[in-house]
A and B are shown apart, each in its own frame.
Chain A
Amino acid sequence: MSSIDRDLEDPSKTCIYIPPGTSDEVAPDVSPYPSYQWRDLPGGYELRMQMYKLSWMKCLGRVKSIVRSLHSSVAAKVVHEVTHAYTDILPGLPYPELPVVAISAEGGSSSLYSLIRQQFDQLPPVVSDANQRENAIPDEPPRPPVILNHLYPADCLTLTAMMKAIVTGFVDQDGILEASIKRKPTTSLASYDINLLAAWYSALGYIPSLVVFLHDFEQFDPVVIQDVLYICSLSIPHLPLVFVLALSSPPTSPAKPSYLHVAYPRDTLALLRVSVLSAPAEAAVVEEIINKTFFDPDFEPDVVLGPAVLDFITDFSSRHCASIDALITMLQLIHLKHFTDPITLLMHPESHATRSRLRNSDARPFLDVLQARLLNSPGSKLAKENPLDSDSEERLSADVLLDAVSDANKAFRKKARGIRVALGIMRIVKDVVLGGKADQGRQGTGDLEMLPAVLRGRLNRDVRYLGMAAKKLSAQKLHELLSALHAFFHNLESAVVRREEEHARVKIVSLMAQLPEPDEVGEPPSGPAERPPAVVQLAADFGEWLTDFLEEHFVRLDECALWDVWYTGGTPFPSELINPAPRPTAVAALLHPDDVVHAHAELLKALRPPSDRTPELEPDDDERELELWELPDTTILFRRFVEAGRMVNVYDWFESFKVVLEDQQRHLCRRARQREKEAQKSQDSSPIKARSRKGKGKRRAVEMDVDEEEDPEMYDDEEDEELDEDEMEQWSVEVQARFMRALHELDFAGFIKHTGRKADHVIRTIYDVPD
């Protein structure tokens, strides 16, 4: 408090921070995720974060490599277009065209651009021709075949600025020409003169491509760009300029293949040779990433996604934003959230660090919880081996428990692998058996939407349907399918999976061996009705095997022991973190501050150890709708604000606020007096009871207000009107101060806007306030 006083006295300070409320309530030492604390290890959070980091890096690395492989073809095309822009020209054109490569990719897809840059850097440098330049020194500067110049909309607001950026972007690049020669600013070529670029280019001594990269192309002014393109087209081909445009908008219709065609007139387009390249659609990329990261037989993620988060990802990417960045953020959040549970410490039960940590004596409570869980879970081996009662007091050693966890881990991983393999097989069968029909269906319902059903174990009907369909396959189709499946098993990279699925592979091979060659059969295309009996038998055999195989592999992962260590299961995605609604939340908090305070108190309560908790809150107290005077100042002001029109007269507002405050003042006095009487009357009543009468939410409001008053007991109902002049003055100053503070709080939160037009009025910024 003293520091505030000092600040208030200090005339040099223009701004002083007065913390809200009183600072006597010491904020408890908040540790993350308190609700798990009772079964956590000391320092478990840090350990889990290390685990999280490892798992997330593994997942992120996989995602990145998938993205890179998806983008590499586009990047290679861009590089090819740029490097061949002036070598492969259609003869007979009336005039040379300025090559332009328009890349249509989403705005935040920086990975594509960095990949393109990387590929440009990897181009082999031009070998300096010794014959051409006899005085070539051995350690002359490198000669990149492509010189890049990156431009951003902010650099290019006017034609002069943009031309200057283009010219100096090349000319002032370090390490291309040996020494930059001093130019006189007045008597030499202007820095925005394309002739300067030409002079520089001819001094280079070799002929690299000059690539101008325009980022965020939509943000450039079309008028400026038109002129720039025109000017540049005048100096080709002796200045081999290539423009690369980074577009974020997709083509809108066949008649408008790119933004360029929408915004620029035909005579500008006629100067250009526009190649439009398109990055893969984001929705497809998201699907690919999910499939390849979490449902690929050859990759084993640490954390297996559960159906709830998959549902969320599918919904979010189809509804709001299907970008790679958003997906990565979501996956990271899922990982972070997953590792909040103490039990995820056992992510890698074999790891040495985990084992040695758990052997410590302070890990005992954690192990106890673990033991209880293991003994209770039906799938666990430990439960079978130790048919003790779960209430037995015997404590198993850390190693025994960890071995059991390891076993559970292995069992879980095996099942997860099985699901992935079965999913791969199911996709192949669907593609072959349903053929065109599957493609039609896919447009409506993505492949992603099937995944939650798989994990929830609700795929029996589909599996049976596929089995039925497989039974009716023709010899040719069957052959195709079996060879596709064989290729699938053959191409599995992971040795573990191959070993586990050996049976299936043998089955496929044997089926293939039995199947007569399709051309031997000479089957007419009339239909499966005329299939030879051998094929019918085989198809039936295969169909049954397929149904059994899939049903056997599609199991629910949350039936495994300790599944929640490796599987997010039904945990919902924390969607408010990624897609919050700030304004309604702020409005709701202003309208019902008691709810927010209550929630905060719940959190604090959870923080305290159970022994420390005081049963101070009475539920009935919270149910009651609070009177206006019981609310904090800002809320009172906000309530009045909600009732006002488009503009609020500040004076009226103040008056109405004052009325409420006076009401509040009366109530407080009456209550104080009553309490005093009660205290005198019944000395023996417990202090807790007395405290509990105050509603918690109300208490906060009241406390705040009461603290500012010097002595509430001075006031009485009767004395109310008899306030002397000094007190009256003081009271009105206080009301004003409180009003100003509340007003500024609303102003700061952006609920009011000042108007320069009408004195003493402010404009509301929100209108439709629900109540």
Chain B
Amino acid sequence: MDSTTTDMTPVGYEACTSLLTTLLTSYPPPFMFVYDPETPRLTSSVVRTLVQDLKTRSKTAGSPLKFASAVVNAVACFTRRLFYDTVLNALAEWRPSWEDGCGNWSGSGSMSGQRFNENFDAFVHGLQAIRTLLEHGSDDLTTKTSAKGKGKAKATSNNENETHRLIIVIERAERLKDSLPDLLVPLTRLAELSQLDVITIFVSDVRWADMRPSLGASPDPYYIDIPALSKQNTIEIMTTAFDTMASCSSSSKLVDAEAYSPVLRSLYDQFITTLYSICSPFVHDVYELMYIAAARWPGFILPVLEAHRAYIEELDRLRADGRSHEFDSDHRATEVSAHSDDEMRDHDIAGILYLPTEDTRIRLVRLFTPSFTSALEGLYPRLTHAADWAREHIPPANLLTLPYTQIPAHMSGALGAQTTGGAHRRDIHAFPRTSQFILVAAFLASTNSPKSDMRMFGRGTDERAKRRRRKGGSPRKAREGTGGGGIKIPQRLLGPTPFPVDRLLAILGVLLEEYDAETRPQVPQFAIPGEYTDMEIARVSIHAAIMELASMRLLIRVSSADRVDATPTFKCGISYDIALQLAREIGIVLNDLLWDSV
């Protein structure tokens, strides 16, 4: 599945692959558990390759031990039937075809037409049927040649000494516990139940102890713990990927055709080493580092390629002028990528890409180092994707010839490219005013406790002045000091609490009355103070705005939408920072209205 996985085992995995191979080819425990918390994806692909490898080798080498394997993903096999179908089809190497009505493998020869996906018993029967198929594979050869995907049959012979071993690898096995809990125990004892030579391998990033069924229903597995990749191994895996890239010529418009030229391999090594040293404090995952490398390398190598092209052009021009033999060294000195001396003259004349000098390389690395951090910041949380990032961070032309002061700012690591958005961009700040008020009111309703509402928002009828809590002298604090209970964590940090829509409207009313009354168009018929606001918060558009915000998940509806007669309750879906920004925009000092002010 993974494009970069080659037949060879990645470095750092030799120990566990040899262990697995030895076990599988000799006397394996029936249930193994491969645990890798760091790079489960890589480990899965290693196991997959290994099993595949064993199978093909056993087929060709004529060894007495034959393998049939199924590698399934516990997320993809989310129902029992799906699991049975996938495993049996894979073991039998059966590919359902559309023309045949997508039938599953249904037994071989005379026993065909059976259904194996009904329950676990049927599945065990299916496994036994597969074994029969493997043993009598050659018998079916004559009858089943037309059937697609029955390649297994061809390879096996009638040798009585052959043993057939079934391997079932389950990736992301931790999901079995949730999706197929009643399969977990039988799968771990599959060999016992089916009386077959079948090995179950779980691959997971969760410990067996965390997913083990209760009451000791499952036997303990044979544990294989994958150690974390060392620095050296990580770098090596990343650099070997370069060879794969170099061998398969890709014609993407995003990348220069020569970016993965084998000549540049040692520069790539240097690039990867720098990248690793910068990013490894934050990310260990080799795939993440490769992702960042893939995004940065095309831009990194571009100045070198450009300089080279310019040089070739220059050369051609001079040749055309008939002065190529006079091509002097001082002209070359102006070229940034001035080369080492001897062998390069040949390259010059042939126009072949060569490795830049050490100076140039150091210069390149120094120029691009700040952008590694920005790549990490933008790409690790996937704020943007690699192709886009690469496109946005193409270095300026002739970067290597520019003096240092003219290096554009985005090269020095600022996240400038992402934050630039036109004024007409859709943004939360472009919301209508009422929606902004509703969001702030929702934040207050979710953060303040309902008991505090009267103090925070209650306004006396006689004095219109705000009764705001004095900082520091609240009764709550006094109680806290004397009571000696646990430290109260501010609600802001505990997450939003649900509130009924009436409370939201009441708080919204207070906010509108105090912060919005002046900006409203004048309506003469409302003479009593507060009457206008009362009318405004009952209007249809307010309710429509609440529902729209709920549909955007900026307000999260807690109560079920089906119950019409109940008061709907909501939770606030925006963070403190956004609430603060919105509040500032509409002129509210948010901290003054928070019970647990920051």
For the complex, what is the distance from the CA of A262 to the CA of B383, rounded to whole Å? 11
For the complex, what is the distance from the CA of A202 to the CA of B424, rounded to whole Å? 44
What's the nearest-Cβ distance from chain A to residue B463, in Å? 20
Instruction: Tell me which residues across on chain A come within 8 A of B535, comparing CB atoms.
Output: 581, 584
A 520-541 binary contact with B (CB < 8 Å = 1; else 0): 0000000000000000000000
Q: Are B78 and A160 in contact (CB under 8 A)?
A: yes
Q: Are B425 and A255 in contact (CB under 8 A)?
A: no
B324 at the interface (CB under 8 A from A): no
The residue from A95, A184, A281 contacting B425, defined by CB atoms under 8 A apart: A281
A183-B102, A199-B97, A753-B565 known; A281-B418 Cβ under 8 A: no
Q: Are A227 and B1 in contact (CB under 8 A)?
A: no
Instruction: Tell me which residues across on chain A come within 8 A of B81, comparing CB atoms.
Output: 190
A94-B2, A188-B102, A203-B99 known; A283-B430 Cβ under 8 A: yes
B407 at the interface (CB under 8 A from A): no
Instruction: Tell me which residues across on chain B come within 8 A of A184, comparing CB atoms.
Output: 101, 103
Instruction: Tell me which residues across on chain A come within 8 A of B362, comparing CB atoms.
Output: none
Q: Are A89 and B75 in contact (CB under 8 A)?
A: no
A 184-197 binary contact with B (CB < 8 Å = 1; else 0): 10111110111110
Instruction: Tell me which residues across on chain B come within 8 A of A200, comparing CB atoms.
Output: 98, 102
Tell me the nearest residue of chain B to A201, going by C-beta: B98
Q: Are B381 and A280 in contact (CB under 8 A)?
A: no
For the complex, what is the distance from the CA of A231 to the CA of B102, rounded to whole Å? 19
A 315-329 binary contact with B (CB < 8 Å = 1; else 0): 111111110000000
For A, the interface residue count at a CB cutoff of 8 angstroms equals 89
Q: Are A252 and B428 in contact (CB under 8 A)?
A: yes
Q: Which of B295, B380, B427 has the most CB of A within 10 A?
A: B427
A104 at the interface (CB under 8 A from B): yes
Instruction: Tell me which residues across on chain B come within 8 A of A646, comparing CB atoms.
Output: none
What's the nearest-Cβ distance from chain B to residue A755, in Å? 12
Q: Are B103 and A278 in contact (CB under 8 A)?
A: no
A495 at the interface (CB under 8 A from B): no
Tell me the nearest residue of chain B to A105, going by C-beta: B426
Q: Are A196 and B73 in contact (CB under 8 A)?
A: no
Q: Are B385 and A318 in contact (CB under 8 A)?
A: no
Q: Are A281 and B427 in contact (CB under 8 A)?
A: yes
Q: Are A95 and B551 in contact (CB under 8 A)?
A: no
Q: Are B102 and A202 in contact (CB under 8 A)?
A: no
Q: Which of A91, A105, A203, A311 has the most CB of B within 10 A?
A: A91
Q: Are B383 and A91 in contact (CB under 8 A)?
A: no
The residue from B41, B259, B554 contacting A95, defined by CB atoms under 8 A apart: B41
Which residues between 71 and 129 of chain A lie within 8 Å of chain B, taking CB atoms? 88-97, 104-105, 107
A240 at the interface (CB under 8 A from B): no
For the complex, what is the distance from the CA of A199 to the CA of B544, rounded to whole Å? 46
For the complex, what is the distance from the CA of A94 to the CA of B285, rounded to whole Å? 11
A90-B294, A183-B102, A266-B382 known; A227-B78 Cβ under 8 A: yes
Q: Are A92 and B432 in contact (CB under 8 A)?
A: no
Q: Are B539 and A88 in contact (CB under 8 A)?
A: no
Q: Are B385 and A275 in contact (CB under 8 A)?
A: yes
B 346-390 binary contact with A (CB < 8 Å = 1; else 0): 000000000000000000000000000000000011111111101
For the complex, what is the distance from the CA of A741 to the CA of B78, rounded to whole Å? 56
B521 at the interface (CB under 8 A from A): yes
Q: Are A274 and B252 in contact (CB under 8 A)?
A: no
Instruction: Tell me which residues across on chain B come within 8 A of A193, comparing CB atoms.
Output: 82, 85-86
B591 at the interface (CB under 8 A from A): no
B577 at the interface (CB under 8 A from A): yes
What's the nearest-Cβ distance from chain A to residue B233, in Å? 15
Q: Are B544 and A321 in contact (CB under 8 A)?
A: yes
For the complex, what is the distance from the CA of A431 to the CA of B274, rounded to whole Å? 49
The residue from B260, B385, B540, B552 contacting A580, defined by CB atoms under 8 A apart: B540
B4 at the interface (CB under 8 A from A): yes
Q: Are A252 and B538 in contact (CB under 8 A)?
A: no
B 512-543 binary contact with A (CB < 8 Å = 1; else 0): 00000000010000000001001110111110
Q: Are B426 and A92 in contact (CB under 8 A)?
A: no
Q: Are A91 and B552 in contact (CB under 8 A)?
A: no
B104 at the interface (CB under 8 A from A): yes
For the complex, what is the distance from the CA of A280 to the CA of B430, rounded to whole Å? 11
B76 at the interface (CB under 8 A from A): yes
For the complex, what is the distance from the CA of A319 to the CA of B438, rounded to whole Å? 12
B120 at the interface (CB under 8 A from A): no
Q: Are A315 and B521 in contact (CB under 8 A)?
A: yes
What's the nearest-Cβ distance from chain B to residue A94, in Å? 4
A257 at the interface (CB under 8 A from B): yes
What's the nearest-Cβ distance from chain B to residue A625, in Å? 17
What's the nearest-Cβ distance from chain B to residue A451, in Å? 16
Q: Are B115 and A189 in contact (CB under 8 A)?
A: no
Tell me the nearest residue of chain B to A271, going by C-beta: B382
Q: Are B255 and A90 in contact (CB under 8 A)?
A: yes
B253 at the interface (CB under 8 A from A): yes
B 121-157 binary contact with A (CB < 8 Å = 1; else 0): 0000000000000000000000000000000000000
Binds B, one of A243-251, A340-348, A468-476, A680-688: A243-251
B214 at the interface (CB under 8 A from A): no
A257-B384, A275-B388, A770-B534 known; A218-B76 Cβ under 8 A: no
B13 at the interface (CB under 8 A from A): no
Q: Are B255 and A259 in contact (CB under 8 A)?
A: no
A714 at the interface (CB under 8 A from B): no
For the complex, what is the distance from the CA of A203 to the CA of B100, rounded to whole Å? 11
What's the nearest-Cβ distance from chain B to residue A248, in Å? 5
A443 at the interface (CB under 8 A from B): yes
Q: Are B250 and A91 in contact (CB under 8 A)?
A: yes
Q: Which of A92, A107, A316 has the most CB of B within 10 A?
A: A92
B231 at the interface (CB under 8 A from A): no
Instruction: Tell me which residues across on chain A come within 8 A of B85, comparing CB atoms.
Output: 189-190, 193, 195
What's the nearest-Cβ distance from chain A to residue B315, in Å? 28
Q: Are A88 and B382 in contact (CB under 8 A)?
A: no
For the complex, what is the distance from the CA of A248 to the CA of B241, rounded to whole Å? 40
Q: Which of B287, B291, B293, B426 has the most CB of A within 10 A?
A: B426
Q: Are B385 and A92 in contact (CB under 8 A)?
A: no
A619 at the interface (CB under 8 A from B): no
A674 at the interface (CB under 8 A from B): no
The residue from B78, B100, B293 contacting A92, defined by CB atoms under 8 A apart: B293
Q: Are A281 and B101 in contact (CB under 8 A)?
A: no
For the complex, what is the distance from the CA of A163 to the CA of B424, rounded to whole Å? 37
Tell me the nearest residue of chain A to B439, going by C-beta: A252
What's the nearest-Cβ distance from chain B to residue A180, in Å? 10
Q: Are A104 and B426 in contact (CB under 8 A)?
A: yes
Tell me the nearest residue of chain A to B294, going by C-beta: A92
A190-B81, A231-B75 known; A249-B382 Cβ under 8 A: no
What's the nearest-Cβ distance from chain A to residue B290, in Å? 4
Which residues between 242 and 287 of chain A lie within 8 Å of chain B, taking CB atoms? 248-255, 257, 259, 261-263, 266, 269-270, 272-275, 278-284
Tell me the nearest residue of chain A to B581, going by C-beta: A253
Q: Are A194 and B534 in contact (CB under 8 A)?
A: no
B 62-80 binary contact with A (CB < 8 Å = 1; else 0): 0000000000010110110
Instruction: Tell me which residues across on chain B come within 8 A of A159, comparing CB atoms.
Output: 78
Q: Are A263 and B553 in contact (CB under 8 A)?
A: yes
Q: Are B255 and A91 in contact (CB under 8 A)?
A: yes
B457 at the interface (CB under 8 A from A): no
A202-B98, A753-B565 known; A93-B294 Cβ under 8 A: yes
Q: Which of B382, B418, B433 has the most CB of A within 10 A?
A: B382
The residue from A93, A182, A284 contacting B101, defined by CB atoms under 8 A apart: A182
Instruction: Tell me which residues across on chain B come within 8 A of A177, comparing CB atoms.
Output: 98
Tell me the nearest residue of chain B to A750, going by C-beta: B565
Q: Are B551 and A93 in contact (CB under 8 A)?
A: no
Further contacts, 16 of them, CB under 8 A, given A95-B3, A279-B426: A96-B3, A160-B79, A187-B106, A188-B102, A199-B98, A202-B97, A218-B552, A250-B552, A278-B425, A278-B426, A316-B541, A320-B432, A320-B433, A443-B423, A581-B535, A581-B538
**13 A–B contacts, CB within 8 A, in A order:** A93-B294, A94-B3, A94-B290, A184-B103, A188-B101, A189-B102, A195-B89, A196-B96, A202-B98, A234-B1, A311-B521, A317-B432, A321-B541
Smallest CB-CB A-B distances: 4 pairs: A203-B98, A249-B552, A92-B294, A269-B382
